A and B are shown apart, each in its own frame.
Chain A
Amino acid sequence: MTDTPLLQMTGIVKQFPGVRALDGVDLDVRAGEVHCLLGQNGAGKSTLIKVLSGFHQPDEGTITWDGQDAAFSTPAKAIEHGVATIYQELDLVPHLDVTENVFLGHEVSRAGFSQRSRAREMARALLARLGHAEIPVTRVVGDLSPANQQIVSMARALSHDTRLLVLDEPSAVLDQQEVANLFRVIRSLTAEGVAVVYISHRLEEIRQIGDRITVLKDGRTVATGLAVADTPTAELIRLMTGRSIEYVFPPRPETPRDQGEPVLEVRDLSLAGVFTGVDLTVHAGEIVGLAGLVGAGRSEILETLYGARRASTGTVAVDGKRLRRGSVTSSVQAGVGLAPEERKSQGLLLDEAVYRNITMSSMARFARFGFLDRGQERKRAEELTTSLDVRPTGVTRAVRTLSGGNQQKVVLARWLLRDCRVLLLDEPTRGVDVGARSEIYQLVRSLADRGVAVVVVSSEIEEVLGLADRVLVVREGEVVHESASTDIDEAKVLDLVMEERVPA
């Protein structure tokens, strides 16, 4: 590790219509270090790295790369100089295969003819280096899980001669095991002298992998070059939010809720090839958590019981009434709501206003004879965005102009607004900052207190255990354990999730 910075950004300013996303940001990164970028949702982290990667042009400020003045005018230029970026929103082409995606823009060719078999060899080698040799290089990327798509993105970054790797919330789509694998890859890269810029809202990750920290707040640098080892977490939270937050889960009700009337009853639900024989009962006011690895089938369970996928066997009933198989309409009529995992593709109308995205599932409530009361819509949307701290405020701006975490809050707000009997939440806090997280937990708990039956899927075991009353552990499409969340701890869940056989 040397002390002369590989990259130095000074006084960077970036103005968007109506928002000053960056207002004089400084960042210096040394070769061989992992530099963490922290900040609340909308602080400007993604914008900063997009300026670095040539995706945005800064309005003011200087960038020095390897001792020379350099502002990359296009992403291609940045890549040429060895800056590889993995964006928060994956930018793969879904209907191309893995190899084609890895070598997108710099196809392996000789005399103008592409050398497909050699490209596949090279792609395989890259995936192996990332610890994922099992991903088939001829598979269409759209068919891969989000976690595996992330790996393909990494392979693409490494297919260039990389000196700086920028990772914007890479762990959001990963489970603990995969995060560990990611860290292994990052360590081997830094050992070779590659610098890494790492963005995450999970502070415990910063502890594990980070060397130094830069904190952004409202487009400004509030601290830079902090050594990870000497900075307590409470201090980081204070720097990010300007206040101190006790990162706690809301208290559980005194009397357990699993005695009341059952609201959601799932019997022997299966989806061929994905999961089998799921039995699940959720009572009014109860929060049930599904823990497990990414790809264990948790999202598929939610989607199937919502009717978005057609179950191969089994029944789902709400308040004793059976739902039609494979019919979202029937579920929605029965009062079931699903906040999906993939906000961009499954959740949002990016060009539409925030309030329209929020009221999308409860339009009937704001309509008389089909005519919408837009004033009322905006008012309710404003209440929700305020309590979830969506920034910048203003419910008429297009969702596209919000930061990733704030977009996530908009999807969540849609389902908090709708009066559901059963609420299915798939990764509700993915990409959401520390402050808004506890707010979301409170809201979910207060919904449960009003009698809603809630099912939560999360890759963060701590979250499942902290929020839910009862936990189901899912492994390879089977429920392998069920208990009250107070009767099990994180280590036990991890064991269950990883192990081949469950000890009785």
Chain B
Amino acid sequence: MSQDSVRVEKEALETEREPNPVLALLRTSVGRNAGLVVALLLICLVGAITAGSRFTDWDNAMTILRLAAVVGVVSIGMTFVIIGGGIDLSVGAIVALSSVWCTTVATQELAQDIHWLWMVAVALLVGSACGLINGLLIAYGNIVPFIMTLAMLASARGLAEIISDKKTQIVSVEGFDDFFNRDILGIDVQVWLFALVSVAGWILLNRTTFGRRTVAVGGNPEAARLAGINVKRQTVYLYVLIGFCCGIAALMLVAKTTTGSSTHGSLLELDTIAAVVIGGTLLTGGRGTIVGTVLGVLIFSSITNIFILNNRSFSEQSLFKGAIIVAAVLLQQRLASRNSTT
């Protein structure tokens, strides 16, 4: 611990050696996002070369976007939480619990009687409630986010297993499937949902007091508190927000697979945190962009798609993704340490 900080201190003192124009550009958020677009184009180029028209045709583009949609919706929520100085490891488990809860016999019977929207309401409520519990205990119980959401990860999935008796629950409510698997203007509803959540997220982060407060709370909590921002309440809101996103993701998964299951969303925390980090959001909080996250998600799903088209194994995929995450974080640290002069 003390060794580390000594090193950090020395680094901070030795900044500003060669002013590299590329690094300077990458330090601005616009520049970073431009860099991500370039990376995405390069990956597409690799896809086009290795898989030819199987990669480039419209259906495959849709496949990539559909792949991106579920992870993407949760990643938007994760972007807020991380900018706000926190982390949420329980997203996969919350998705599983929401998917199970909204597909129980009781819920489905009620939904049959009232409207399929009842299922939607249940999923969103369960997701938000889990987020609320996370948020309250982190903000007012002073539990470190890492530990609290780790506990939630275990508990929520456990509860999902108990409720479902570890069986997959098939959806039989009319209207639900139809809605979530429809095309609008030739584009999957799920992809539309991802787009909608992204745009809403962008507006929320960049144009509202909520977004401004999120940045303040993550960037300098003490300053935010003294400036009269209710840091604890904002923290709670952030976890409710990501819980809500998990509810949406659960609905998308349920519709896609026509089942609710306690195994849904496994490793979702890994995919979302990775996408957010690659998108240039600082893990220390206070800085990040929605556009970056969307690009990070697209980069990941394109890579997955290319690996599948080339008949590569899931294990190889994981190995490669791990390497990308490390590379992204290394680059980020380099940029961050150069930024800490003055």
Interfacial residues, chain A to chain B (CB-CB below 8 A): 17, 55-57, 73-76, 89, 91, 93, 95-96, 100, 104-105, 306, 308, 328-329, 331-332, 337-338, 340, 345-352, 356, 360-361, 363-364, 367, 370-372, 374, 400-401, 414
Contacts and interface: CB of A to CB of B under 8 A. Distances in A.
Contact of A352 (B2, B219, B222, B339): B219
A100 B2 contact: yes
Contacts of B209: 363-364, 367, 370, 372
Given A104-B9, A329-B230, A356 B223 contact: no
B139 to A, nearest CB: 13
A328 B228 contact: yes
A370 B230 contact: no
Contacts of B227: 347, 360-361, 414
A400 B219 CA distance: 13
Given A328-B228, A345-B223, A96 B2 contact: yes
B16 A370 contact: no
Contact of B216 (A75, A76, A328, A349): A349
A351 B286 contact: yes
A91 B2 CA distance: 15
Contact of B212 (A95, A306, A337, A363): A363
B10 A105 contact: yes
A55 B16 contact: yes
A370 B208 contact: yes
Nearest to A407: B342
Contact of A96 (B5, B13, B287): B5
A329 B228 contact: yes
A302 to B, nearest CB: 11
What are the 9 tightest A-B residue pairs by CB atom distance, in nearest-first order? A332-B228, A349-B219, A361-B227, A370-B208, A75-B13, A363-B209, A360-B227, A367-B209, A361-B228
A348 B226 CA distance: 10
A91 B12 contact: yes
A380 B222 CA distance: 25
Interface of B: 1-2, 5-6, 9-10, 12-17, 24, 207-210, 212-213, 215-216, 219-220, 222-230, 286-287, 339, 341-342
A93 B5 contact: yes
A349 B341 CA distance: 15
A35 B256 CA distance: 74
B208 A367 contact: yes
Contacts of B230: 329
B339 to A, nearest CB: 8
Nearest to A89: B342
Say what secondary structure dominates the interface of chain B: helix
Contacts of A348: 220, 223
Contacts of A351: 219, 286-287, 339
Contacts of B2: 95-96, 100
B216 A57 contact: no
Contact of A17 (B13, B24, B224, B225): B24
Contact of B9 (A89, A91, A350, A356): A91
B286 A347 contact: no
A306 to B, nearest CB: 8
A104 B8 CA distance: 11
B14 A345 contact: no
B228 A370 contact: no
B20 to A, nearest CB: 13
Contacts of A56: 16, 341
A209 B224 CA distance: 39
30 contacts: A57-B17, A73-B17, A76-B13, A76-B14, A89-B342, A91-B12, A93-B5, A95-B2, A100-B6, A105-B10, A306-B226, A328-B228, A329-B228, A331-B228, A332-B228, A340-B223, A340-B226, A347-B223, A347-B226, A350-B220, A351-B287, A352-B215, A356-B212, A363-B209, A363-B213, A364-B209, A370-B209, A371-B208, A372-B209, A374-B207
Contacts of A374: 207
Contact of A345 (B9, B12, B220): B220
A328 B227 CA distance: 9
B341 A55 contact: yes
A371 B205 CA distance: 10
B13 A91 contact: yes
Nearest to A338: B226
A361 B209 CA distance: 11
Nearest to B2: A96
A360 B219 contact: no
Contacts of B24: 17
A93 to B, nearest CB: 5
B235 to A, nearest CB: 14
A308 B219 contact: no
Contacts of A74: 13-14, 17
Given A91-B9, A91-B12, A400-B342, A372 B225 contact: no
B19 to A, nearest CB: 8
B225 A360 contact: no
Contacts of B339: 351, 400
Nearest to A94: B5
A93 B10 CA distance: 10
Contacts of A367: 208-209
A247 to B, nearest CB: 29
Contact of A349 (B12, B220, B228, B342): B220
Nearest to B18: A57
A139 B220 CA distance: 25
Contacts of B228: 328-329, 331-332, 337, 361
Contacts of A350: 219-220, 342
A360 B216 contact: yes
Contacts of A340: 223, 226
Nearest to B203: A371
Given A347-B223, A360-B229, 11 more contacts: A57-B16, A73-B17, A95-B2, A95-B5, A104-B9, A328-B226, A347-B226, A352-B219, A363-B213, A371-B207, A372-B212
B191 to A, nearest CB: 27
Contacts of B222: 345-346
A346 B223 contact: yes
A356 to B, nearest CB: 7
Contacts of B207: 371-372, 374
A401 B342 contact: yes
A93 B7 CA distance: 11
B24 to A, nearest CB: 7
A374 B207 CA distance: 8
A173 to B, nearest CB: 18
A73 B193 CA distance: 53
A216 B9 CA distance: 30
A481 B87 CA distance: 51
